[in-house]
Structure 1
Amino acid sequence: MNTGLRITTFAAALAATFGAAYGVGQGVGPVVADNPPKHEGEHTRPAPEGKKGGGHAGHDTPPAGGLQISEGGYTLDLQTPRVTAGEQADLRFTVRDAGGRAVTAYQREHDKELHLIVASRDLATYRHLHPTRAADGTWSTPVDLPRAGGYRVFADFTPAGKDAENLTLGADLAASGPYQARQLPPESTTARVDGYEVRLTGALRPGKAGELKLKVSRDGKPVTDLQPYLGAYGHLVALRSGDLAYLHVHPNGEPGDGTTRPGPDISFTATAPSSGSYRLFLDFRHDGKVHTAAFTARAGGAAPESATPEGHADDGHGH
């Protein structure tokens, strides 16, 4: 092939590549890099089950989790990288070890072998899902994402084994359809969801552990009969705005320990990996149903004295 022909062929291939990329971008909204940035160190590990103060905030300066698709010899293999907004799809994935083999043995933590979180890049949509695992190690769960755009999938698990450590791996998911970005809701200390009001006291502090307390009430009366959910009276996930760094925190105490009451207060110990804005999602169960209250909080800045109450995460989430 002569030089002129080679140049012409390369230019045509390049144009076709960029044209295809543009078409995908138009269909699914913002495109997220295949290789997310590495976080600054290892993911923080939970305290042993039953110990007070357990969760992923046991160290003074925990790094962010969920920014890597591979860590500690394990990789999240997301087999459903795209779905269609507004249509139910079967989300499938596998956790693979360093040899590429599917992991089929896990430690149960908070009633589950694996916790799956799906959140939109603008943090307007949140799902806490409980997938099922087939004998070959493939996990699957139905998912219905309401809006087009970029999403992040987080798999929080601990492989079986005496010295195994907890990991949170993340992968990108695209929902196709007309895309419109939303701004992060303003900071607030109050959220209303399904007739409940949840008030947040305490503050996220970068690099330093602090208590977050959430008080649940309904019709102006404290709720004192919360029901256990995932082995606790509350389940809290914090995601950093921008890169969706993941901080998964469990409450101080647990049902049946003789000291933890079933509401109205749920207490957590959390450490933010850095300054910035975070979206907090609290799951709690009452009257047999799980509800999700969502807050925007800032680490490294004073909490607002008062704010307009905000609702739950966009259109709820599945359990």
Structure 2
Amino acid sequence: MNSALKITAFTAGLATVFGASYGIGHATDDTSPKPSTAAHAGHASTAPPSVAASPGDGDGATGGAGHLPGGLQISERGYTLSLGDSYVTAGAPVDLRFRILGANGDPVTDYRTAHGKELHLIVAPRDLSTFQHLHPTRSTDGTWRTTAALPAAGAYRVFADFTPAGTSQGLTLGADLHAAGDLRPVPPATTGRTVTVDGYRVTLTGDLVPGRSTRLGLAVAKDGRPVTDLQPYLGAYGHLVALRAGDLAYLHVHPDGEPGDAGTAPGPDISFTTTAPSRGGYRLFLDFRHGGVVRTAAFTVTAADGPMDAATPAASASVSPAPEHDGDHQH
């Protein structure tokens, strides 16, 4: 790669997060409709190399105007994410209810399946300190329901990732969720290229390059030995979500290969291809399943135009595991 993936402490790159969001778990106001986002058929994706600059890009943006990453808009291409209650209380489990409304204002009740589900719901605070990947259930009237854990007060971003039936492009819509309570901002986590979760060591290789499709590799080991029997999760051996610091632009990336394709091994290596829409800080959340438990390894990274400074030290961090509960993956 001509450019390297900087592993950094987010200190400078996330300064705008705390200036705009009051610290842990804060969010901006709901956005108004903007130009549509490019997407893969059947699933939301990163924007192409020409990406408009957005607030919170850290040290700048690359490319032109006309395209936005997913998750920045509450309404796009005639579809709107409508939360039942945007104001909740932190600490206790929260009952989330929402609907996807079509151009005529009616709830959408027919979806295409992607990664084994009609809709994927991501909940993250503005400082990106935590991450929840949920799979809500839908009633016949189009109302989705699930339970989320909001451990700290502040503002969160809710992402609905789905593909309406009869369409070929996926959508990722985002809305703000405000959790009341005793707000105590904390600095965002810092990581190196290796993080530890429940005895598993996950090592990140590859580089994020602004405006260019690049490959990221993640290798899973336990007790010093490579894990070669990862279990499928959402139709793959790993599921990666990337969120941009500052505005929480959503990059949903797909793994390179899938179980049963005669070319993809069940570990230890999982690879993904993605495009960073701009320079700046990102959080990567890798979900993987082993021993019947889904765990998440989180990395703090920076996409930059130049190679990473070899003299920059890389700190390690630990991430706690979370078992599956009734189809919902929470962190």
Q: The TM-score by the shorter chain falls in which range?
A: 0.7 to 0.9
Partner of 1:158: helix, strand, or coil? strand
Residues 313, 98 of structure 1: CA spacing in aligned structure 2 closer, same or farther, 3 A cutoff?
Answer: farther
Residues of 1 paired with 2:236 and 2:101: CA distance? 29
Please tell me whether the aligned partners of residues 61 and 206 of structure 1 are also in contact (alpha carbons under 8 angstroms). no
**Within the alignment, does 1:311 sit opposite 2:321 as a pair?**
no
Residues of 1 paired with 2:224 and 2:271: CA distance? 20
What amino acid is the match of 1:42? S
Please tell me whether the aligned partners of residues 196 and 216 of structure 1 are also in contact (alpha carbons under 8 angstroms). yes
Residues 170, 64 of structure 1: CA spacing in aligned structure 2 closer, same or farther, 3 A cutoff?
Answer: same
* TM, length-normalised to structure 1: 0.83
Alpha-carbon distance, 1:106 to partner: 0.2
Give 2:89's aligned residue: 84
Q: How does 1:100-179 map to 2 (within 5 A)?
A: 100-161=105-166, 163-179=167-183
Q: Deviations over 1:99-122 (max 9, x none)?
A: 100000000000000000000011
Q: Deviations over 1:70-128 (max 9, x none)?
A: 00000000112122111012100000001100000000000000000000011112110
Give 2:299's aligned residue: 295
**Within the alignment, does 1:34 sit opposite 2:29 as a pair?**
yes
Q: Deviations over 1:196-249 (max 9, x none)?
A: 000000011110010000000000100011011000110000011111111010
Residues of 2 paired with 1:231 and 1:303: CA distance? 33
Give 1:208's aligned residue: 212
- Gap regions ≥5 residues in structure 1: 1-24, 49-53
Q: Which has the higher contact order (CA 8 A, sep 6+)?
A: 2
Residues of 1 paired with 2:295 and 2:267: CA distance? 14
Which aligned segments of 4 or more residues in structure 1 are displaced greater than 4 angstroms?
28-33, 303-306, 313-318
**Within the alignment, does 1:56 sit opposite 2:60 as a pair?**
no
Kindly report the root-mean-square deviation, in angstroms, between the aligned alpha carbons of the 2 structures.
Answer: 2.6
Give 2:236's aligned residue: 232
Residues of 2 paired with 1:226 and 1:116: CA distance? 23
Partner of 1:77: helix, strand, or coil? strand
Residues of 2 paired with 1:184 and 1:303: CA distance? 21
Residues 205, 64 of structure 1: CA spacing in aligned structure 2 closer, same or farther, 3 A cutoff?
Answer: same
Residues of 1 paired with 2:303 and 2:210: CA distance? 6
Alpha-carbon distance, 1:60 to partner: 3.8
Please tell me whether the aligned partners of residues 201 and 212 of structure 1 are also in contact (alpha carbons under 8 angstroms). yes
- For these two proteins, the number of residue pairs brought into alignment is 287
Equivalent of 1:45, from 36, 39, 42? 39
What amino acid is the match of 1:203? D
- Gap regions ≥5 residues in structure 2: 1-20, 52-67
Equivalent of 2:262, from 238, 249, 258? 258
Over the matched positions of the two proteins, sequence identity in percent amounts to 56
More helix by share: 1
Residues of 2 paired with 1:55 and 1:164: CA distance? 10
Structure ID, larger Rg: 1
Q: Deviations over 1:26-68 (max 9, x none)?
A: 9x988744332766x53232257xxxxx972484446311010
Deviating more after overlay: 260-269 vs 299-308: 299-308
Equivalent of 2:284, from 256, 271, 280? 280
More strand by share: 2
Please tell me whether the aligned partners of residues 235 and 284 of structure 1 are also in contact (alpha carbons under 8 angstroms). yes
